[in-house]
């Protein structure tokens, strides 16, 4: 996304806890002819978010498009997951959204111009075995995003757009090892395809993007079917077995 935004003339700001990874992204942005700024931040610490937000605004001015894209996953069942990892999942995937919005949204509201983007997950719309903390964090991310969107609309700031993105598993390495029982309907999404869809959604001010398209049908069925039917549907699509061979990025490396 950083590269694609650079191609259309955006000055890109990259936040990451991994300095080397951020610097590599900066090089790719510059190779594409763009400009990028790198700031190292620990999104699990709200004081660090406030600190780096001030550095960012001092360096580049107001932010026009805020994309909350950071996320972590443990891939462990509830009783196997250490408490500190569950706390960190909630801090990065959910709590950080409060503080990035508090720092960058006021200038958008003042100008009645801007865009807030939240990369959530279909895991924020349902439950899944092996993703208790992750699902909880993405439910929280969606609730945070939807509530902020309502607050923006309540202020009649129609020039500030919001886009909520709810993808199925994306092949970035973060979910290495996951499987899908129905690849025709629910394939593991290629990263480039996901970026293409997300960019289109942002640039056309779409309020909601779910990937793949079959996800919209699932959302409708969740709202209509009783819990017992939803369990049968999860068994049919293999949702609760998808994490059985999960390895994740760290173990992969």
Annotated active-site positions, please?
134
d(CA 229, CA 243): 21
Beta strand pairing status for 65-68 and 208-211? Answer: unpaired
| DSSP-assigned letters across all residues of 185-232 | TSPPBPHHHHHHHHHHHHHTT-SEEEESTHHHHHHHHHHHS-HHHHHH
Phi-psi region of 127 (alpha: psi -120 to 50; beta: other; left: phi over 0): beta
| Residue 43 structure tokens | 């999104």
């Amino acid at each position: 996304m950083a590269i694609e935004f650079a191609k259309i003339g955006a000055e890109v700001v990259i936040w990451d806890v991994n300095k080397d990874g951020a610097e590599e992204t900066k090089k790719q942005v510059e190779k594409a002819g763009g400009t990028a700024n790198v700031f190292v931040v620990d999104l699990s610490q709200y004081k660090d978010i406030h600190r780096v937000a001030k550095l960012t605004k001092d360096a580049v001015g107001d932010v026009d498009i805020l994309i909350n894209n950071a996320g972590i996953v443990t891939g462990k069942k509830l009783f196997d997951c250490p408490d500190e990892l569950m706390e960190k999942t909630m801090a990065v995937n959910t709590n950080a959204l409060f503080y990035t919005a508090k720092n960058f949204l006021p200038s958008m509201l003042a100008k009645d111009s801007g865009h807030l983007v939240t990369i959530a997950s279909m895991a924020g719309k349902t439950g899944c075995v092996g993703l208790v903390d992750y699902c909880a964090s993405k439910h929280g991310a969606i609730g945070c995003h939807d509530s902020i969107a309502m607050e923006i609309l309540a202020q009649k700031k129609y020039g500030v757009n919001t886009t909520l993105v709810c993808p199925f598993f994306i092949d970035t390495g973060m979910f290495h090892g996951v499987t899908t029982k129905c690849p025709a309907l629910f394939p593991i999404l290629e990263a480039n395809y996901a970026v293409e869809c997300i960019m289109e959604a942002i640039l056309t001010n779409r309020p909601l993007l779910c990937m793949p398209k079959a996800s919209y049908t699932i959302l409708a069925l969740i709202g209509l079917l009783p819990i017992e039917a939803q369990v049968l549907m999860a068994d049919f699509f293999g949702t609760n077995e998808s994490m059985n061979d999960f390895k994740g990025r760290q173990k992969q490396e």
